[in-house]
Protein backbone atom coordinates (compact mmCIF):
# COMPACT_ATOMS: atom_id res chain seq x y z
CA UNK A 1 0.00 0.00 0.00
CA UNK A 2 1.83 3.11 -1.18
CA UNK A 3 1.30 6.49 0.44
CA UNK A 4 1.86 9.88 -1.12
CA UNK A 5 1.57 13.42 0.24
CA UNK A 6 1.08 16.11 -2.38
CA UNK A 7 1.56 19.76 -1.39
CA UNK A 8 0.09 19.11 2.04
CA UNK A 9 -0.34 22.05 4.41
CA UNK A 10 -1.79 21.58 7.86
CA UNK A 11 -2.80 24.46 10.09
CA UNK A 12 -3.87 23.89 13.72
CA UNK A 13 -6.58 26.17 15.11
CA UNK A 14 -6.81 28.21 11.93
CA UNK A 15 -8.26 31.66 12.36
CA UNK A 16 -7.58 31.80 16.12
CA UNK A 17 -4.72 33.50 17.99
CA UNK A 18 -3.28 29.95 18.48
CA UNK A 19 -3.05 29.28 14.75
CA UNK A 20 0.05 27.24 13.89
CA UNK A 21 1.10 25.82 10.53
CA UNK A 22 2.53 22.38 11.40
CA UNK A 23 3.03 21.04 7.83
CA UNK A 24 4.27 23.21 4.99
CA UNK A 25 3.92 22.17 1.36
CA UNK A 26 4.82 18.56 2.14
CA UNK A 27 5.30 16.45 -0.98
CA UNK A 28 6.74 13.06 -0.07
CA UNK A 29 6.13 9.33 -0.58
CA UNK A 30 6.29 6.35 1.75
CA UNK A 31 7.24 3.44 -0.48
CA UNK A 32 5.11 0.28 -0.36
CA UNK A 33 6.78 -2.42 1.75
CA UNK A 34 9.35 0.01 3.15
CA UNK A 35 10.43 0.53 6.73
CA UNK A 36 10.28 4.30 6.80
CA UNK A 37 11.64 6.34 9.70
CA UNK A 38 10.37 9.87 10.28
CA UNK A 39 12.85 11.99 12.18
CA UNK A 40 13.08 15.63 13.20
CA UNK A 41 13.22 17.89 16.19
CA UNK A 42 10.49 18.19 18.78
CA UNK A 43 7.70 20.18 17.17
CA UNK A 44 8.90 19.56 13.59
CA UNK A 45 5.53 18.00 12.61
CA UNK A 46 6.17 14.24 12.90
CA UNK A 47 3.00 13.39 14.84
CA UNK A 48 0.97 15.71 12.64
CA UNK A 49 2.22 13.95 9.51
CA UNK A 50 1.57 10.56 11.06
CA UNK A 51 -2.06 11.41 11.85
CA UNK A 52 -2.63 12.17 8.16
CA UNK A 53 -1.87 8.53 7.29
CA UNK A 54 -5.35 7.35 8.23
CA UNK A 55 -7.23 10.61 8.05
CA UNK A 56 -7.30 11.36 11.79
CA UNK A 57 -6.15 14.76 10.56
CA UNK A 58 -7.03 15.96 7.07
CA UNK A 59 -4.87 18.33 5.08
CA UNK A 60 -5.86 22.00 5.30
CA UNK A 61 -4.86 22.01 1.62
CA UNK A 62 -3.20 19.53 -0.72
CA UNK A 63 -3.97 15.82 -0.55
CA UNK A 64 -2.77 12.50 0.84
CA UNK A 65 -3.21 9.34 -1.23
CA UNK A 66 -3.20 5.99 0.60
CA UNK A 67 -3.47 3.11 -1.91
CA UNK A 68 -6.35 4.40 -4.09
CA UNK A 69 -8.00 6.60 -1.44
CA UNK A 70 -7.45 10.35 -1.67
CA UNK A 71 -7.82 12.38 1.53
CA UNK A 72 -8.45 16.11 1.22
CA UNK A 73 -9.83 18.79 3.52
CA UNK A 74 -13.38 17.82 2.51
CA UNK A 75 -13.11 14.02 2.97
CA UNK A 76 -15.81 12.79 5.37
CA UNK A 77 -14.94 10.45 8.26
CA UNK A 78 -17.49 7.89 7.08
CA UNK A 79 -15.45 7.49 3.86
CA UNK A 80 -12.38 6.52 5.91
CA UNK A 81 -13.60 3.35 7.70
CA UNK A 82 -12.03 0.95 5.18
CA UNK A 83 -8.74 2.86 5.10
CA UNK A 84 -8.49 2.75 8.91
CA UNK A 85 -8.50 -1.05 8.81
CA UNK A 86 -5.48 -0.95 6.50
CA UNK A 87 -3.41 1.60 8.42
CA UNK A 88 -2.93 0.74 12.10
CA UNK A 89 -1.49 3.50 14.27
CA UNK A 90 0.25 2.65 17.55
CA UNK A 91 0.36 5.90 19.50
CA UNK A 92 2.83 6.59 22.31
CA UNK A 93 2.17 4.53 25.44
CA UNK A 94 -0.60 2.46 23.77
CA UNK A 95 -0.94 0.34 26.92
CA UNK A 96 -2.89 3.25 28.43
CA UNK A 97 -5.79 2.24 26.13
CA UNK A 98 -6.13 -1.33 27.45
CA UNK A 99 -9.46 -1.85 29.16
CA UNK A 100 -10.78 -5.42 28.87
CA UNK A 101 -10.67 -7.94 31.70
CA UNK A 102 -8.52 -10.46 29.81
CA UNK A 103 -5.65 -10.19 27.34
CA UNK A 104 -7.55 -12.22 24.73
CA UNK A 105 -10.65 -10.02 24.98
CA UNK A 106 -8.57 -6.89 24.61
CA UNK A 107 -6.82 -8.11 21.47
CA UNK A 108 -10.11 -9.47 20.06
CA UNK A 109 -11.93 -6.16 20.52
CA UNK A 110 -11.26 -4.67 17.06
CA UNK A 111 -12.01 -7.77 14.95
CA UNK A 112 -15.20 -8.25 16.95
CA UNK A 113 -16.15 -4.65 16.29
CA UNK A 114 -15.51 -5.16 12.60
CA UNK A 115 -18.03 -8.00 12.44
CA UNK A 116 -16.16 -11.21 13.40
CA UNK A 117 -17.89 -13.66 15.74
CA UNK A 118 -16.54 -13.99 19.30
CA UNK A 119 -14.92 -17.30 18.35
CA UNK A 120 -13.30 -15.92 15.15
CA UNK A 121 -12.11 -12.79 16.95
CA UNK A 122 -10.53 -14.85 19.76
CA UNK A 123 -8.80 -17.10 17.23
CA UNK A 124 -7.27 -14.01 15.60
CA UNK A 125 -6.33 -12.68 19.07
CA UNK A 126 -4.44 -15.89 19.93
CA UNK A 127 -2.55 -15.72 16.59
CA UNK A 128 -1.66 -12.06 17.16
CA UNK A 129 -0.52 -12.70 20.74
CA UNK A 130 1.84 -15.32 19.36
CA UNK A 131 3.05 -12.94 16.64
CA UNK A 132 4.07 -10.30 19.21
CA UNK A 133 5.73 -12.89 21.44
CA UNK A 134 3.25 -13.08 24.33
CA UNK A 135 3.29 -16.43 26.18
CA UNK A 136 0.08 -18.54 26.14
CA UNK A 137 -0.21 -18.63 29.91
CA UNK A 138 -1.08 -14.93 30.21
CA UNK A 139 -3.86 -14.87 27.64
CA UNK A 140 -6.75 -15.44 30.03
CA UNK A 141 -5.36 -13.21 32.76
CA UNK A 142 -5.80 -9.47 33.23
CA UNK A 143 -3.64 -7.24 31.00
CA UNK A 144 -3.14 -4.98 34.01
CA UNK A 145 -1.06 -7.56 35.85
CA UNK A 146 1.58 -7.69 33.10
CA UNK A 147 4.91 -5.85 32.87
CA UNK A 148 4.99 -2.54 30.96
CA UNK A 149 6.62 -4.17 27.93
CA UNK A 150 4.06 -6.99 27.84
CA UNK A 151 1.14 -4.56 28.20
CA UNK A 152 2.51 -2.69 25.22
CA UNK A 153 2.68 -5.93 23.23
CA UNK A 154 -0.98 -6.59 24.05
CA UNK A 155 -1.91 -3.14 22.74
CA UNK A 156 0.15 -3.70 19.57
CA UNK A 157 -1.46 -7.13 19.05
CA UNK A 158 -4.82 -5.36 19.27
CA UNK A 159 -3.83 -3.11 16.34
CA UNK A 160 -2.40 -6.06 14.37
CA UNK A 161 -5.69 -7.92 14.87
CA UNK A 162 -7.17 -5.55 12.25
CA UNK A 163 -4.65 -7.10 9.82
CA UNK A 164 -3.31 -3.74 8.64
CA UNK A 165 -0.98 -3.41 5.63
CA UNK A 166 0.73 -0.42 7.21
CA UNK A 167 1.82 -0.27 10.84
CA UNK A 168 2.54 3.23 12.11
CA UNK A 169 4.58 3.51 15.31
CA UNK A 170 4.97 6.74 17.27
CA UNK A 171 8.05 6.33 19.48
CA UNK A 172 7.10 2.76 20.33
CA UNK A 173 9.99 2.12 22.72
CA UNK A 174 9.53 5.24 24.88
CA UNK A 175 9.81 4.37 28.57
CA UNK A 176 11.16 0.83 28.07
CA UNK A 177 14.50 -0.32 29.46
CA UNK A 178 17.34 -1.11 26.98
CA UNK A 179 16.52 -4.84 26.87
CA UNK A 180 12.80 -4.14 26.39
CA UNK A 181 13.62 -1.62 23.64
CA UNK A 182 15.80 -4.06 21.76
CA UNK A 183 13.21 -6.85 22.00
CA UNK A 184 10.45 -4.51 20.81
CA UNK A 185 12.49 -3.28 17.83
CA UNK A 186 13.38 -6.88 16.92
CA UNK A 187 9.70 -7.75 17.04
CA UNK A 188 8.84 -4.97 14.55
CA UNK A 189 11.68 -6.11 12.31
CA UNK A 190 10.24 -9.63 12.34
CA UNK A 191 6.75 -8.33 11.50
CA UNK A 192 8.20 -6.27 8.67
CA UNK A 193 10.09 -9.24 7.24
CA UNK A 194 7.56 -12.02 7.78
CA UNK A 195 4.23 -10.23 7.29
CA UNK A 196 5.50 -7.82 4.59
CA UNK A 197 4.10 -4.98 6.68
CA UNK A 198 5.00 -1.46 5.63
CA UNK A 199 6.32 0.18 8.78
CA UNK A 200 6.34 3.90 9.50
CA UNK A 201 8.37 4.69 12.61
CA UNK A 202 8.55 8.08 14.32
CA UNK A 203 11.65 8.11 16.47
CA UNK A 204 14.33 10.19 18.14
CA UNK A 205 16.61 7.10 18.27
CA UNK A 206 19.04 7.43 15.36
CA UNK A 207 20.49 3.97 16.07
CA UNK A 208 17.07 2.47 15.38
CA UNK A 209 16.94 4.36 12.07
CA UNK A 210 20.41 3.06 11.19
CA UNK A 211 19.67 -0.52 12.24
CA UNK A 212 16.19 -1.04 10.87
CA UNK A 213 14.94 1.59 8.41
CA UNK A 214 15.12 1.35 4.61
CA UNK A 215 13.91 4.91 4.05
CA UNK A 216 14.04 8.15 6.03
CA UNK A 217 12.00 11.35 5.99
CA UNK A 218 13.54 14.32 7.79
CA UNK A 219 11.22 17.11 8.94
CA UNK A 220 12.23 20.57 10.06
CA UNK A 221 9.64 23.15 11.14
CA UNK A 222 6.94 21.39 9.14
CA UNK A 223 8.97 21.00 5.94
CA UNK A 224 10.57 17.90 4.48
CA UNK A 225 14.30 18.65 4.26
CA UNK A 226 15.41 15.16 3.17
CA UNK A 227 13.80 11.90 2.01
CA UNK A 228 16.27 9.11 1.25
CA UNK A 229 17.66 5.82 2.59
CA UNK A 230 19.48 6.19 5.96
CA UNK A 231 22.92 5.72 4.37
CA UNK A 232 22.26 8.82 2.22
CA UNK A 233 20.83 10.88 5.08
CA UNK A 234 23.69 10.01 7.46
CA UNK A 235 26.50 10.26 4.93
CA UNK A 236 27.06 13.92 5.71
CA UNK A 237 27.35 14.29 9.51
CA UNK A 238 28.08 18.02 9.17
CA UNK A 239 24.70 18.58 7.50
CA UNK A 240 22.91 16.70 10.27
CA UNK A 241 24.69 18.62 12.98
CA UNK A 242 23.87 21.92 11.25
CA UNK A 243 20.23 20.87 11.41
CA UNK A 244 20.64 19.96 15.11
CA UNK A 245 19.98 16.27 14.50
CA UNK A 246 21.78 13.49 16.33
CA UNK A 247 23.92 10.86 14.58
CA UNK A 248 23.85 7.09 15.06
CA UNK A 249 26.54 6.18 17.64
CA UNK A 250 28.75 4.44 15.08
CA UNK A 251 28.52 7.38 12.65
CA UNK A 252 29.40 9.85 15.39
CA UNK A 253 32.38 7.76 16.45
CA UNK A 254 33.64 7.55 12.84
CA UNK A 255 33.11 11.29 12.37
CA UNK A 256 35.22 12.01 15.46
CA UNK A 257 37.92 9.60 14.24
CA UNK A 258 37.91 11.34 10.85
CA UNK A 259 38.38 14.71 12.52
CA UNK A 260 41.68 13.48 14.03
CA UNK A 261 43.00 13.34 10.46
CA UNK A 262 44.30 9.82 11.02
CA UNK A 263 41.33 7.96 9.56
CA UNK A 264 39.27 8.45 6.45
CA UNK A 265 36.10 6.69 5.42
CA UNK A 266 34.70 6.37 1.90
CA UNK A 267 31.25 5.71 3.32
CA UNK A 268 30.17 6.78 6.79
CA UNK A 269 29.39 3.67 8.86
CA UNK A 270 25.88 3.50 10.35
CA UNK A 271 26.13 0.48 12.62
CA UNK A 272 28.77 -1.04 14.92
CA UNK A 273 29.41 -3.77 12.37
CA UNK A 274 29.93 -1.20 9.57
CA UNK A 275 32.18 0.79 11.90
CA UNK A 276 34.44 -2.17 12.70
CA UNK A 277 34.76 -2.97 8.98
CA UNK A 278 35.42 0.68 8.07
CA UNK A 279 38.17 1.04 10.73
CA UNK A 280 39.79 -2.20 9.58
CA UNK A 281 39.72 -0.92 5.99
CA UNK A 282 41.11 2.47 6.92
CA UNK A 283 43.97 0.80 8.83
CA UNK A 284 44.70 -1.42 5.84
CA UNK A 285 44.96 1.67 3.64
CA UNK A 286 47.55 3.17 6.00
CA UNK A 287 45.63 4.83 8.82
CA UNK A 288 47.27 4.38 12.18
N1 LIG B 1 -3.59 21.40 18.86
C2 LIG B 1 -2.60 22.20 18.50
N3 LIG B 1 -2.78 23.55 18.39
C4 LIG B 1 -1.77 24.37 18.01
N5 LIG B 1 -0.53 23.94 17.69
C6 LIG B 1 -0.30 22.62 17.78
C7 LIG B 1 -1.30 21.69 18.19
N8 LIG B 1 -0.77 20.43 18.18
C9 LIG B 1 0.52 20.58 17.79
N10 LIG B 1 0.80 21.87 17.55
C11 LIG B 1 2.08 22.45 17.12
O12 LIG B 1 2.40 21.91 15.83
C13 LIG B 1 3.81 21.68 15.72
C14 LIG B 1 4.06 20.25 15.29
O15 LIG B 1 3.65 19.39 16.36
P16 LIG B 1 3.89 17.81 16.29
O17 LIG B 1 3.31 17.25 17.54
O18 LIG B 1 3.40 17.30 15.00
O19 LIG B 1 5.48 17.74 16.33
P20 LIG B 1 6.43 16.47 16.60
O21 LIG B 1 7.55 16.58 15.63
O22 LIG B 1 5.62 15.25 16.60
O23 LIG B 1 6.98 16.76 18.06
P24 LIG B 1 7.49 15.72 19.21
O25 LIG B 1 8.82 15.19 18.74
O26 LIG B 1 7.64 16.58 20.41
O27 LIG B 1 6.43 14.66 19.38
C28 LIG B 1 4.42 22.04 17.08
O29 LIG B 1 4.96 23.35 17.00
C30 LIG B 1 3.23 22.01 18.02
O31 LIG B 1 3.40 22.93 19.08
User: Ligand 1: which of 45, 169, 205, 223 to mutate, most ligand atoms within 8 Å of CB?
Assistant: 45
- Tens digit of each residue's pLDDT (9 = 90 or more) over 9-41: 999 999 999 999 999 999 999 999 999 999 999
9 Cβ below 6 A of ligand 1 = no
Chain-centroid distance of CA 165 in Å reads 14
To test the pocket of ligand 1, the residue of 5, 43, 245, 246 to mutate (highest count of ligand atoms within 8 Å of its CB) is: 43
Which is nearest to 89 in space by CA: 176, 172, 19? 172
Render pLDDT for 90-106 as a digit per residue (tens, 0 to 9): 999 999 889 999 999 99
| Distance of CA 21 from the midpoint of ligand 1 (Å) | 9
Model pLDDT for residues 192-234, shown as the tens digit of each residue: 998 889 999 999 999 999 999 999 999 999 999 999 999 999 9
Q: How many A from CA of 48 to the centre of ligand 1?
A: 7
Whether 18 is in the pocket of ligand 1, judged by its Cβ within 6 Å, is yes
Q: Please, what are the domains in the chain? A: 3-247 (3.40.50.300), 248-288 (no CATH)
| 230 C-beta closer than 6 A to ligand 1 | no
Contact between residue 151 and residue 143 where contact means Cβ atoms under 8 Å apart: yes
Rounded to the nearest angstrom, the distance between the alpha carbon of 56 and the centre of ligand 1 is 15
User: Would you give the distance in Å from CA 278 to the centre of its chain?
Assistant: 29
Q: What is the distance in A from the centroid of ligand 1 to the CA of 40?
A: 12
**Backbone CA torsion sign across 218, 211, 177, 245:** negative
Cα of 203 from ligand 1 centre, angstroms = 15
Q: For 261, which DSSP code? A: T
- What pLDDT is recorded for position 2? 87
Amino acid sequence: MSIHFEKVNYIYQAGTPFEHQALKNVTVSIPKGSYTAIIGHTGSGKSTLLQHLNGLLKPSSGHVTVADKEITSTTKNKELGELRKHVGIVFQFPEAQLFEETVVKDIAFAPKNFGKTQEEAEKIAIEMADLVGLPDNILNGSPFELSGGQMRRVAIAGILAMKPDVLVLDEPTAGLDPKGRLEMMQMFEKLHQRQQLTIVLVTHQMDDVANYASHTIVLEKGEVIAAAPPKEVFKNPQWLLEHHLALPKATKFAYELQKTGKFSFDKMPLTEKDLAAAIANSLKRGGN
